[in-house]
Amino acid sequence: MIKHVLLFLAALVALPGSTAAQDLEGTWALQIDDASIFVFLLERNEGGDWRGAWLRPERFRGNGVVFSQLRGAELVRTTDYSMQDDVLELRFAPTREEGSTDVLRFRLTGEHQAEMTYTGTDLAPYPLVRVVAGTQLGPFFDDRIYDRDNAAIEADYDPADEPAAQPLEPEPEPNPDPEPEPVMEPEPEPRSRLSDDFLDGLGAGASIPADVPPAGVEPLPALPETVSRACSDLDRDDLPSADALGEMWGADYEAIGSGLDIREYRMDNGDIARVTILGERIYVNSCGPVS
């Protein structure tokens, strides 16, 4: 009898690490002042292997403790992982040739609570809270400084709000038979940008150049008068698909960034909406006056 009790207690001691590791599955965010600064999707397959994706700003000012002037969005995927006790270590591919691999460690700290440690730095672990799948970055405001001391440590999470379970989206594949466009848009001018690396966000964002076609290139036809654009067209709780966005706002936009389909639409009142397209889903990076 005593032997069976001891075996049962030993099993209970062994469970937390395994359970904690499995409970890391899902979507997590570093949230400051009701804005998602980073969003992580952690997934474990049937064989027990882990993979993840990191949705983060493409540009920002800051030092890893405070953040401001956050711009755009980029999705970075894992290349490798390791698991030790209840700590999951993920390696994320560099976003540029001279960049380095980012190594992040995740550990469950409570119900719907976790922490992320950025290895190779002296930064304290970042608190993460569980969020529903599909959570976007932002909303960001240019006149606000986001201080990690104000990061959320209590999750406002309800499993009933989760959409239907979906695996990680595959990398978008080029359309083998793209439909020819009636008018070719000119290549966007190179624009200065902050470094892709996590802690190199100290430069100023580029201003938006005027959309003036070069000599000899026919300008795009004007949008029909019946088409109008406003930031209020986008309901952040019920965003349209990429195709629906095209039907709503047309194809007159400026393509920016590299590696991701990032578009800037000009609203009727002069505001600029910046939208990132990932497969069939869209992420609204910002919509408002041009800073």
Question: DSSP for 101-118?
Answer: -EEEEEEEEETTEEEEEE
pLDDT, tens digit (0-9, with 9 covering 90-100), for 70-85: 999 999 999 999 999 8
User: Does the model's pTM come out above 0.75?
Assistant: no
- Which helix (H) or strand (E) segment holds residue 22: the answer is helix 2-23
pLDDT band with cut points at 50, 70 and 90 for residue 68: very high
pLDDT at 166: 54
Of 261, 230, 271, 290, residue with least CA distance to 74 = 261
**Which pLDDT belongs to residue 238?**
86
- What secondary structure letter does DSSP report for 268? T
Rounded Cα–Cα distance for residues 117 and 198 (Å):
13
- Calpha distance 257→11 (Å, rounded): 52
User: How many other β-carbons are positioned within 10 Å of the β-carbon of residue 269?
Assistant: 9
CATH no. of 15-161: 2.40.128
The pLDDT value recorded for residue 39 is 96
Per DSSP (E only), the strands in the chain are: 26-32, 35-44, 50-56, 59-62, 66-71, 74-84, 87-92, 102-110, 113-118, 126-131, 146-147, 254-256, 261-266, 272-278, 281-288
Q: What is the pLDDT of residue 286?
A: 82
Contact between residue 153 and residue 127 where contact means Cβ atoms under 8 Å apart: yes
Question: From CA 97, how far away is CA 93, in angstroms rounded?
Answer: 10
pLDDT in tens, 259-276: 678 888 988 888 888 888
- What are the sequence ranges of the domains in the chain? 15-161, 207-291
Q: Sorting pLDDT into bands at 50, 70 and 90, what band is 53?
A: very high
33/288: higher pLDDT = 33
| pLDDT computed for residue 70 by the predictor | 94
**Cα–Cα dist 19/194, whole Å:** 40
CA gap 115, 134 in Å, rounded: 20
pLDDT band at 204 (very low <50, low <70, confident <90, very high): very low
Q: Which of 272, 218, 219, 216 is nearest to 249 (CA)?
A: 272
**What is the pLDDT at residue 262?**
83
What does the mean pLDDT of the chain come to?
Answer: 76
Tell me what the mean pLDDT of segment 167-183 comes to.
49
Length of the chain in terms of residues written:
291
- Higher pLDDT, residue 291 or 246: 246
Pairing of strands 26-32, 35-44: antiparallel
pLDDT tens digits for range 90-105: 999 887 777 788 999 9
Q: Is the peptide bond before 139 cis (omega within 30 degrees of 0)?
A: yes
85 token code pair: 């006790």
